[in-house]
Structure 1
Amino acid sequence: MRAAVLELCLQLQASTRKSYQERKNNDMLPVKLLGTPAAGRRHHWLLVVLHLVPGLLLLLLLSRSASASASTVVTHLPGFDGPLPFYLETGYVGVEEETGAELFYYFAESERSPGTDPVILWLTGGPRCSGFSGFAFEVGPVKYVLAPYTGGLPHLVHNPLSWTKMASIIFLDSPVCSGFSYARDPKGCDVGDYSSSLQLQTFLNKGYLIGNPITDPKFDKNFQVQGAHGFGIISDQIYEAAMKNCKGNYVTPANQLCAEVLQTVNSLISEIADAHVLYKKCVVATPKPIEDAIKRKFLLEESIEPNEAPGRPTVDCFTYGYYLAYFWMNNKMTRNALGIKEGTIDEWIRCKREVPYTQDMPSSIPYHLSLTMRGYRVLVYSGDHDLEVPQLSTQAWIRSLNFSIIDDWRAWHLDGQAAGFTIAYANNLTFATVKGGGHTAPEYQPEESFAMARRWLDNEPL
């Protein structure tokens, strides 16, 4: 596959050696689109599982009615020494004719066996965080060299623990107006859970993985208090006061005493990095979906000389790679290499928090229930040091599905050591923790996350 790999909305085949029907008969995951849209027809995708869960991966059959508008085969990247040791293609997919909305993608082909390996669609959460986060910081084939930025282009190296060692991956800037995705009509950027899902008319083929997923505030927010107590952030007395006065509802305080104790809880949580409670609390160089009110004034100034960046993180901060990405992605050489259309996106921002987004789908639990009952394989994983979406909350909503336990709670291992813990339920649902992982587990624990994903993708037990 070395030409228009993603022709006609990521016409992803991972190899042209077998036809779609042959792949279907052999129960293979690589996909091919089904047909060309009629003239004048609006182009949409359908995302069966809502995109708002961070790190949602779908093994899928792609759209029947989206249109490819441009693609670029990328052989070299600025800051990367030599030609790329993997196949990379970028481009745009038209998803809505009325507003001229186009989604930008990065397609990295499997480095193992592209003709038979699965195809993964990676959607970063946020909402409105670029798929580039997955490409460069989590599971993609490159990563930044974390060195003090002195101007010019940051350096990139090959990631030996990229999930492209076992799968082809599409990293998608979704919804519209995140990353390099854009709309000619500004109204195209005004989306929410439902409307952005309609732009992803995707047919699930085999299953999906979700990491530290935002699922339902009743679980996600309520278990933050319990998680903070478990991590030793709040005292027994504060926890007991919260339980007594809030009676399990920590989202909307029902009385003054509850509101006061929650103010104390939130104040204490604000002292730590809730994405990973053991990490240094740092400036978020470009907007990230957390509550820290970090100004990005320096990113909006015409001059972006390093000495004029008053809020930049230090090199030992986990967020320093995000800082480097801003300069790299907004460099003209990078944009040319990636095939970015002139005049579409003036400034690349990793997570565009300032663009409106309507969270009109408050709970995704019914969708998880529907998909698992239809036989799709599901792996839900949690970094066990995340307080944004504590693993306790994820376990709770999974238990609410009332599936019987097939393989009870146990450790899973890597190199003879516990790498996390796992439990398997009926209907092909598995939950696993990644020991030492944070909100985006592959960023913090790449080796353990790689092992977990490889086993699951290869249909092996954890």
Structure 2
Amino acid sequence: MERGHTLFLTRLVLLILVTVTTCECQIHGSRANQAETLMEFRRSRKYQTRVSMVSEDMLTESGLGEMKTDDSGRKMDDDYIHEGLPGQPLSTLSIFKQYAGYINVDRVNGRSLFYYFVEALDDPSSKPLVLWLNGGPGCSSLGVGAMLEIGPFGVNPDGKTLYTRRYSWNKVANILFLESPAGVGFSYSNTTSDYDLSGDKRTAMDSYAFLVNWFRRFPHFKNSDFLIMGESYAGFYIPELAGVVIKKNMEGQSSSIINIKGIMIGNGIMNEDTDDKGFNDYLWSHALISDEIYTKLTQNCSNAVNSEYCKNLEEELGEEIGDIDLYNIYGPTCPRLPHGLTVRKKRHSGLDPCEGNYVEAYLNLPNVQKAFHANVTKLSYPWATCSKLIVKWKDSPKTMFPIYKRLIALGLRILLYSGDVDAVVPVCGTRYSIDAMNLKVIKPWRFWTDATKQVAGYKVVYDGLTFATVRGAGHEVPRFQPRQAFALVKMFLANRD
């Protein structure tokens, strides 16, 4: 993604500064992608006062709210994308079904969440159902998850046509992409004040309401094995939603039970203190900052002290790191187009760092929005990868440890994975977090391989969860290493350690 050198480095430095205990998080600013948005969010909650904290264990929280019933009257066939997506390769038009539309999760305020659903390539009735969530908070699962990572299509440099993704995850599962909360992507609310009330708790409850109503629209998937997957700030979204689903399953009638089997999270935040320690240590261990800066950070900036001193490290740290992509530290960055040019040339191999720009152009085409059944009359803004409407975040926990412990005790399958060249939520931060939970090692650290029999990463099996790394992958693992990520999801769906 294109970004100014100074602004980018400002976000980077402020991320690692002092921690305060409470804040209502202001997360506005440039929001080009989910990694930058997460960095801005983590910076903001260190310096401002959080009015309320979400419960750190939604499995035990009472008064989670009444489930809202969707009253739109729409049926599954109303959301069917009959003629495929604009620019879709003709050879793929009749291979699998695609659906898109809205589920209303609040009749009073008119909050409606947008989804894109892709059936499995073969025999969808026998395949599991995966809900995919991207993070931010405030970034689009349609634009990032579907169009950049695991969906059946990517966008060509012309911003108008699509290519077939070789390692699309609908080869092994039915995939449901949700734009959440309201204000993200094509999701909206008729009550604009809703956007200032977004937070972890409402996101979890709205997502649960979405699921129950989506299954009513798609009843033939009601008994399918259900799994929640995603990345980044979804490291909070996913355990929280899983906790709500399980609690509601325990309380609810059989008609509303969701057959949840597991969660799978990539480069997800887990715990504020260990995430921050991992960030500092990763920068130093990967030779991005000097010994001197690292010493200053670890000795003076790990607690709510010396904040002005820590802020003053900003310029020095920026000069040391330079203009690199922190969510893929060895990857290329997207250069600015030369003056007068509006279309980039197609890259014939390897990662295209500018593909997010093509996706944003594609999803703002009127014929594309019509094909997706996007209710653009309700949107006073263009589609964006990360929302410009959500400028506050009402509640957020410091840690996921209590929810993880309850999910583990209930026997939910859990896979955490880390691309090892991501500096935003780096592998060492996740390892620190898992270590802090004091889980027993069942199978020690060992390499794992993909279909080519090459070492794809390393994994360790604990009593309650599995942790895996993916070699050479950045913050969005399926985008940077699609073959290895595909092997990982197949392994998880097959319940193989």
Q: TM-score, normalised by structure 2?
A: 0.69
**Aligned runs of 1:172-183 on 2, under 5 Å?**
172-183=178-189
Relative to structure 1, the CA distance from residue 307 to residue 284 in structure 2 (aligned partners, 3 Å threshold; closer, same or farther) is: closer
Following superposition, the deviation at residue 159 of structure 1 comes to: 1.4
Relative to structure 1, the CA distance from residue 156 to residue 374 in structure 2 (aligned partners, 3 Å threshold; closer, same or farther) is: same
Q: Secondary structure at the match of 2:124?
A: coil
> Which of 126, 143, 149 lines up with 1:138 in the alignment?
149
> Which of 87, 91, 100 lines up with 1:79 in the alignment?
87
Relative to structure 1, the CA distance from residue 262 to residue 244 in structure 2 (aligned partners, 3 Å threshold; closer, same or farther) is: farther
Distance in 2 (alpha carbons) for counterparts of 1:104 and 1:209: 22
Q: Could you tell me which residue of structure 2 aligns to residue 327 of structure 1?
A: 361
CA displacement, residues 187-229 of structure 1 (integer Å, 9 cap, x when unaligned): 2222111122121225251110111002222122222111011
Q: Secondary structure at the match of 2:80?
A: strand
Following superposition, the deviation at residue 258 of structure 1 comes to: 5.2
**Matched letter for residue 87 of structure 2:** G
Following superposition, the deviation at residue 395 of structure 1 comes to: 0.8
Mapped contact 2:284–2:291 kept (Cα < 8 A) = yes
Following superposition, the deviation at residue 335 of structure 1 comes to: 1.3
Mapped contact 1:422–1:430 kept (Cα < 8 A) = yes
Q: Could you tell me which residue of structure 2 aligns to residue 361 of structure 1?
A: 396
Q: Report the count of equivalent residues.
A: 373
**Matched letter for residue 282 of structure 1:** C
Relative to structure 1, the CA distance from residue 65 to residue 110 in structure 2 (aligned partners, 3 Å threshold; closer, same or farther) is: farther
Distance in 1 (alpha carbons) for counterparts of 2:261 and 2:195: 31
Q: Could you tell me which residue of structure 1 aligns to residue 108 of structure 2?
A: 98
> Which of 70, 93, 97 lines up with 1:67 in the alignment?
70
Are residues 1:123 and 2:133 paired?
yes
Distance in 2 (alpha carbons) for counterparts of 1:284 and 1:140: 27
Distance in 2 (alpha carbons) for counterparts of 1:101 and 1:206: 28
Distance in 2 (alpha carbons) for counterparts of 1:94 and 1:173: 13
Q: Could you tell me which residue of structure 2 aligns to residue 288 of structure 1?
A: none
Following superposition, the deviation at residue 390 of structure 1 comes to: 0.6
Mapped contact 1:405–1:425 kept (Cα < 8 A) = yes
Relative to structure 1, the CA distance from residue 72 to residue 256 in structure 2 (aligned partners, 3 Å threshold; closer, same or farther) is: closer
Following superposition, the deviation at residue 72 of structure 1 comes to: 1.8
User: Which deviates further from its counterpart, 434-443 or 252-261?
Assistant: 252-261
Mapped contact 2:136–2:386 kept (Cα < 8 A) = yes
Distance in 1 (alpha carbons) for counterparts of 2:55 and 2:177: 15
Mapped contact 2:195–2:389 kept (Cα < 8 A) = no
Relative to structure 1, the CA distance from residue 315 to residue 239 in structure 2 (aligned partners, 3 Å threshold; closer, same or farther) is: farther
**Aligned runs of 1:38-77 on 2, under 5 Å?**
65-67=68-70, 69=72, 70=74, 71-74=78-81, 75-77=83-85
Distance in 1 (alpha carbons) for counterparts of 2:67 and 2:308: 53
Distance in 1 (alpha carbons) for counterparts of 2:307 and 2:110: 48
Q: Secondary structure at the match of 1:348?
A: coil
Q: Could you tell me which residue of structure 1 aligns to residue 50 of structure 2?
A: none
Are residues 1:448 and 2:490 paired?
no
Distance in 1 (alpha carbons) for counterparts of 2:128 and 2:336: 34
Following superposition, the deviation at residue 313 of structure 1 comes to: 8.3
Give the number of the structure whose residues are more often strand, by fraction. 1
Relative to structure 1, the CA distance from residue 332 to residue 261 in structure 2 (aligned partners, 3 Å threshold; closer, same or farther) is: closer
Relative to structure 1, the CA distance from residue 242 to residue 47 in structure 2 (aligned partners, 3 Å threshold; closer, same or farther) is: closer
Distance in 1 (alpha carbons) for counterparts of 2:150 and 2:282: 27
Mapped contact 2:183–2:389 kept (Cα < 8 A) = no
Distance in 2 (alpha carbons) for counterparts of 1:423 and 1:284: 41
Gaps in structure 2 of 5+ consecutive residues = 1-53, 59-65, 209-243, 247-259
Distance in 1 (alpha carbons) for counterparts of 2:153 and 2:194: 31
Q: Secondary structure at the match of 2:383?
A: coil
**Matched letter for residue 172 of structure 1:** L
Q: Secondary structure at the match of 2:439?
A: coil
Are residues 1:222 and 2:228 paired?
no
**Matched letter for residue 487 of structure 2:** A
Q: TM-score, normalised by structure 1?
A: 0.74
Distance in 2 (alpha carbons) for counterparts of 1:240 and 1:313: 43
Q: Could you tell me which residue of structure 2 aligns to residue 275 of structure 1?
A: 327
Distance in 2 (alpha carbons) for counterparts of 1:389 and 1:283: 24
Mapped contact 1:313–1:323 kept (Cα < 8 A) = no
Mapped contact 2:155–2:362 kept (Cα < 8 A) = no
**Aligned runs of 1:3-402 on 2, under 5 Å?**
65-67=68-70, 69=72, 70=74, 71-74=78-81, 75-82=83-90, 83=93, 85-132=95-142, 133-145=144-156, 147=157, 149=158, 154-190=160-196, 191-201=198-208, 203-204=245-246, 205-246=260-301, 249=302, 252-254=304-306, 260-261=312-313, 264-265=316-317, 267-269=319-321, 271-282=323-334, 307=340, 318-345=352-379, 346-358=381-393, 360-362=395-397, 363-402=399-438
Mapped contact 2:457–2:468 kept (Cα < 8 A) = yes
Gaps in structure 1 of 5+ consecutive residues = 1-45, 51-62, 286-305
Distance in 1 (alpha carbons) for counterparts of 2:305 and 2:331: 30
**Matched letter for residue 202 of structure 2:** S
Relative to structure 1, the CA distance from residue 227 to residue 262 in structure 2 (aligned partners, 3 Å threshold; closer, same or farther) is: farther
Distance in 2 (alpha carbons) for counterparts of 1:197 and 1:357: 17
Relative to structure 1, the CA distance from residue 442 to residue 180 in structure 2 (aligned partners, 3 Å threshold; closer, same or farther) is: same
**Aligned runs of 1:423-438 on 2, under 5 Å?**
423-427=460-464, 429-438=465-474
Following superposition, the deviation at residue 113 of structure 1 comes to: 3.0
Relative to structure 1, the CA distance from residue 273 to residue 177 in structure 2 (aligned partners, 3 Å threshold; closer, same or farther) is: same
CA displacement, residues 53-110 of structure 1 (integer Å, 9 cap, x when unaligned): xxxxxxxxxx975426344211311111322532101110010112100000001111
CA displacement, residues 124-161 of structure 1 (integer Å, 9 cap, x when unaligned): 1011111111111111111122x3x3xxx521022120
Relative to structure 1, the CA distance from residue 284 to residue 171 in structure 2 (aligned partners, 3 Å threshold; closer, same or farther) is: farther
Q: Which fold has the larger relative contact order, with Cα–Cα distance below 8 Å and residues 6 or more apart in sequence?
A: 2
Give the number of the structure whose residues are more often helix, by fraction. 2
> Which of 406, 418, 421 lines up with 2:455 in the alignment?
418
Mapped contact 1:66–1:93 kept (Cα < 8 A) = no
